[in-house]
Amino acid sequence: MFSRNLPNFLLKPLMNFVLLVYLFFSRLFHVDFEPKEKLDDSYTKFNSFDDPLPDIEPNYPDYKELLAEAKENGEPIKAVNRR
């Protein structure tokens, strides 16, 4: 739009004008972010923390038994080659 750059002495007043216009319109056209209608609260039943989680005991198999069982079946487990 401009064929030349704006001089520095015009930049500050121009920015002040833009800021004042923004502030004026932001007060004039206030946006309300709250919904006009109430939302359905039926989804809150999924957020119930009243029921405690069940206690589950972990089942860690013995690695020596797993190696012996694999060797008996004819498919020995090889060691991991790490680099």
* Burial tier of 28 (Cβ tally within 10 Å: 0-12, 13-18, 19+): exposed
> 0.85 exceeded by the pTM?
no
∠ at Cα 9 (13, 25), nearest 5°?
A: 15
Q: Mean pLDDT across the stretch 29-35? A: 70
pLDDT of 67 over the 80 cut: yes
Residue 60 has pLDDT above 70, yes or no: yes
Mean pLDDT score, 2-10: 71
